[in-house]
Amino acid sequence: MRHSFALMHMVSWTMTRMVGALVALILLVPQARAASENDLALGYAVYVGGVQALSLGIDLDTGMQAYDMKLALRTEGLIGRIFPWSMQAFSRGQFADDRVRPANAGQRSLWNGRERATDMVYRQDGTIEVTAIPPRDDRMGPPVPIEQMTGTVDLVSAILSVLKHLQGGEPCQASVPVFDGRRRYDFNARPAGSTVLRKTPYLKFEGEATACRIFLRPVEGPARRGVIDLTDENAIMVWIARLVPDLPPVPVRLDMDTDLGAVRAYLANARRGVGEVPLIAMQRKS
């Protein structure tokens, strides 16, 4: 049971930091307005040791110049009954000069009745106004210097930045400066070739996908240790494919091996507006 808790805690933190863009059930993300053709809702299933343990909903709205992305993550199944935990994250901003520029971002988590939250407002001069619950604890180390925060983006925006580059035909090659409200690190993506994925009892997607290795490089802030080394370039592999011609490619599979077991995430369903999107890669033009 102790190992189950440790693994759940590690996976939840990792998913929050990483592909917070990656996994779960669409119904976890409420639709506050009528769905438009720029809306893409993704549903994934996340397995630990072959058993579904987490679910994450992603609602992505991208127009020509703006984006609004929401994520909702929670524990599921037996782990969810014993260790109920949930997290919501969001990021809103603009596409400008081929860059992602967030306006505000944040996340909230609830564990054992205790709330943990971070809200960030991005000013025109590149600095960030941060509100944290609970407030930052100086015993965890010195605060991140202002010069290290200036010009950074949140994690969700960093992931979207990589996806936008792939949409433009660029390789999965990026290093994006990230500040999550408490820590400063670089979100890195490296190309790992392409492959054709086939359907399995777990994977519902089929078609060609681009493989990316994802890892972090810490810069400032308190260290976070766990059963996976997120600075290892081979720590996390993500396969990305385009389902809809005029929206960014999306993750369709994630593999992560840890000291306590294998974590696998698979795209389970997708909707655009009010219609279902087939889980098959968009054919490239010859």
Higher pLDDT, 51 or 135: 135
Q: Other CB atoms closer than 10 Å to residue 177's CB: what's the count?
A: 17
Q: Other CB atoms closer than 10 Å to residue 244's CB: what's the count?
A: 15
What is the spatial distance between Cα 53 and Cα 7, in angstroms, rounded to a whole number?
Answer: 10
Average pLDDT over residues 148-167: 88
Torsion of CA 194, 200, 201, 206, to 10 degrees: 70
- Angular region, 5: left φ>0, alpha ψ -120 to 50, beta rest: alpha
Average pLDDT over residues 112-124: 89
Contacts of 204 (CB under 8 A, 6+ apart): 266, 267, 268, 269, 279
Contacts of 75 (CB under 8 A, 6+ apart): 8, 12, 53, 54, 83, 84, 85, 86
Angle (nearest 5°) at CA 94 between 239 and 209: 10
Query: pTM of this prediction?
Result: 0.78
What is the spatial distance between Cα 166 and Cα 161, in angstroms, rounded to a whole number?
Answer: 9
Establish whether the linkage from the previous residue to 218 is cis, with ω within 30° of 0: no
Which residues share a beta bridge with 60?
Answer: 40, 69
The per-residue pLDDT of the chain, averaged, comes to 78
Range with the poorest average pLDDT among 75-89, 94-108, 171-185:
75-89
pLDDT band at 30 (very low <50, low <70, confident <90, very high): very low
Higher pLDDT, 227 or 206: 206
Sign of CA pseudo-dihedral 118, 71, 193, 244: negative
Q: How much is the pLDDT for 138?
A: 66
pLDDT band at 229 (very low <50, low <70, confident <90, very high): confident
